[in-house]
Chain A
Amino acid sequence: MTGQITQHYILSVLVENKAGVLARVAGLFSRRGFNIYSLAVAPTNDERFSRITIIVDVESAPLEQVVRQLDKLVNVVEISQLDPSDAVERELLLAMVGVSVAERSQLIELVGVFRGEVVNVGLDRLTVMVAGTPETIDNFERLLESYEIIEIQRTGRVALPKLDHSRFSGASAATA
């Protein structure tokens, strides 16, 4: 799987942190025939809520329809639509790679170029981690192909809006 999707949109969905909410969101997408490209869920700093970042394939349905149907779910509190050009998107990749002794330093160097980390070292394999834009992750994944890839895991994207430099007030300045 690579991140080459053309028509996509990012929905940042604040939901109540209750049992079954992810099933409600996923169920809505499947029964309405909307395609999810990737999905990431995590609690927010307010324990009552979680944030689901959904990358939507808008070729399957108009974004407006997706948002309005999603908004009808009682547990969905707030939906922000992010245009990829107005957002910072990041993704994390973990890969377990088989390497000979000779290849090992070469791979460590490659991980360094991508400002990643070696997170685990075995006799004949390394587990490495790279975080970055989805494009960076795609590039790194392609470069890994010249090694023996045992397993790759990507998190799916998370995103926040780009900060507006013309305004230095309120929340955006505080979090800058």
Chain B
Amino acid sequence: MKMTGAQALIKSLETQGVEVMFGLPGGAILPVYDPIIGSSIRHILVRHEQGAGHMAEGYAMATGRPGVAIVTSGPGATNVVTPLSNAYMDSTPLVVVSGQVATAAIGTDAFQECDITGVTMGITKHNWLVTDAAEIPRTVAAAFYVATTGRPGPVLIDVPKDVSNALMEWYWPQTVEDLDLPGYRPVTEGDPAQVRRAVELLLAAQRPVIYAGGGVLKSRATDALRELAERTGMPVVTTLMARGAFPDSHPLCLGMPGMHGNYTAVTAMQRADLLVALGARFDDRVTGKVAAFAPEAKVIHVDIDPAELGKVRRPDVAIAGDCNVVLEAMLEALDAAGLGHDERCRWSDVGALPRPGTPAANRPSLSPWWAVLRRWQQEFPLTYHQEPGGLLKPQLVVETLRDLSPDDTIVVGGVGQHQMWASQWWRFDYPYTWINSGGAGTMGFAVPASIGAKVGRPDRTVWAIDGDGCFQMTAQELVTAAAEQIPVKVAILNNAYLGMVRQWQEMFYAERYSEVYLSPDLPDYVKWAEAMGCVGIRAESPEEVTPAIEKANAIDDRPVVVDFRIDAFEKVFPMVPAGASNDDIVVAPQGREAKP
């Protein structure tokens, strides 16, 4: 069957199972937009290409399926650079199709020409400049294969206009060999010898901690993680990228570690004699000063990307493989060592009863360790103080939102103080309910990512918890949401500041506030929301929080924006100052709420 490259591109996306793509047309991508009329794929017309990229990310993080964005050449393509970089840092599978000027014009500084494969080389898992229409189906299939296998990540396909217009004979690659990827061999199976060594360390540990990272979610390993934790009775910390990978309500869960992690999660890692790192990459926001991080701990490191093993911290046992596959192998090896599945340890911290006469029967009790952890939890809980009639505290907003919204609500964060409060104060009991920009720290992520998440999971309530600074970066995508009837909800924690920067200037720059004030009223967020076809609500005092959220939750036919006017002086605690050891964690501001 003869067709144009453009038709082949859309047909390839359909064949690949794409149900939705986010994009904005322009000159070089025009031929590809023609066959979108009549395609089974839903196209969501964004107002800025950055929005398309973040929506595709939100969609991917909520559903586990690759997100697809489509943009034109030049500025269209450069506008999607930030989402590509964001997806690269957070290992989100993303396929971006960009138009390019005709092959004869490449290199001539033609109108809207940009070397986007050159620009994105360092922030994509791979990219392709297609120079022959006959290569389009193969390239699309290869792009999805690369984006979704191994360590997931973003890819980009750059399609010159003449290639889209050229005729080709349709085909679809049937096997991986047809994809022409001789250098691409993702690992999945862990080395069985290393798995056995890992189990030996597990059974010898007195103060173990499972350090669960985003890879647990990517590899759909949450059930296996829970089985490992419950069977061994080991505590679990979930990083910012892994919130929800293990239920916050579980007695074995210690919550989030890191720069703004809680005292128990941070200090448990510091005092541990064994860290079981699963799909985590020892990010500087987790380790603090690396030389002082978890000094007594042996490390088992499981990651699908071999380059992560030993990149920051030298592991005692390194296992390159898919987290779920490796965890299943570990559970089998544990069973063989005498620690099998035990119904009695479900939702408890007791651990399974080892079979007598097995290696597991001699393992040290974790009770002394748990006694220490429980004491820390008692002594150093997360705290804030809401004066009745006082300025509204952001933590109260997050807690009320949490309590008044369905348990499986998808929460989407921007970047800054509001992101940390959301991660700290929400209770994540389900996987894939927390979507945020972790590695890249991309302000403006929340609004478009929440729209993508809602498109992927229309059955769920989706709340973006955003800052006023972040909101102003990408708010125009609420026009997209209103036009496309995607009823997301946005809670702006409006403190009139670039709050996290303000916090650092207060704490580390002698309260010299440089270029961080934004004003609570400019813009008027309620009017702005209304102008964009959303419902706008304002809540200025603690008493107004519940009615505002109840009103927002009752609306399901259009987007809602709630402007929560919060106390600008509230800071995120605990905090490990940048570059300091995790032992130097500051639990709360001095003189206020300071704990013994």
The verdict on B591 contacting chain A, using a C-beta distance below 8 Å, is: no
Interface mask (B176-206 → A, CB under 8 Å = 1, otherwise 0):
0000011110000000000000000000000
The CA of A31 and the CA of B121, in the complex, are separated in Å by 11
The CA of A48 and the CA of B129, in the complex, are separated in Å by 18
Interface mask (B134-150 → A, CB under 8 Å = 1, otherwise 0):
00000000000010000
Among candidates B122, B183, B305, B309, residue contacting A15 with C-beta atoms closer than 8 Å: B183
Residues of chain A within 8 A (CB-CB) of B306 are 68, 71
Q: By the criterion of a CB under 8 Å from any partner CB, how many residues of chain B are at the interface?
A: 18
The CA of A48 and the CA of B310, in the complex, are separated in Å by 33
Contact yes or no, B181 A72, CB < 8 A: no
The verdict on A122 contacting chain B, using a C-beta distance below 8 Å, is: no
The verdict on A43 contacting chain B, using a C-beta distance below 8 Å, is: no
Contact yes or no, B118 A74, CB < 8 A: no
Contact yes or no, B311 A74, CB < 8 A: no
Binds B, one of A20-28, A33-41, A82-90, A130-138: A20-28
- Tell me how far the C-beta of A65 lies from the nearest C-beta in chain B, rounded to whole angstroms: 6
The verdict on A127 contacting chain B, using a C-beta distance below 8 Å, is: no
Residues of chain A within 8 A (CB-CB) of B546 are none
Residues of chain A within 8 A (CB-CB) of B122 are 27-28, 31
Residues of chain B within 8 A (CB-CB) of A72 are 125, 305, 307
- Tell me how far the C-beta of A58 lies from the nearest C-beta in chain B, rounded to whole angstroms: 14
Contact yes or no, A16 B182, CB < 8 A: yes
Given A20-B117, A23-B118, CB of A77 within 8 Å of CB of B307: no
Q: By the criterion of a CB under 8 Å from any partner CB, how many residues of chain A are at the interface?
A: 23
- Tell me how far the C-beta of B73 lies from the nearest C-beta in chain A, rounded to whole angstroms: 17
Interface mask (A66-100 → B, CB under 8 Å = 1, otherwise 0):
00110111111110000000000000000000000
- Tell me how far the C-beta of A141 lies from the nearest C-beta in chain B, rounded to whole angstroms: 35
- Tell me how far the C-beta of B153 lies from the nearest C-beta in chain A, rounded to whole angstroms: 10
Chain B contact residues, CB within 8 Å of chain A = 117-118, 121-122, 125-126, 129, 146, 181-184, 305-307, 309-311
Interchain residue pairs A-B with the least CB separation, the first 7: A68-B307, A74-B126, A77-B183, A76-B183, A74-B184, A68-B306, A69-B307
26 pairs, A vs B, C-beta closer than 8 Å: A15-B183, A19-B129, A20-B118, A20-B121, A20-B129, A23-B118, A27-B121, A27-B122, A62-B310, A65-B307, A65-B310, A68-B306, A68-B307, A68-B309, A69-B307, A71-B306, A71-B307, A72-B305, A72-B307, A73-B126, A73-B183, A74-B181, A74-B184, A75-B183, A76-B183, A77-B183
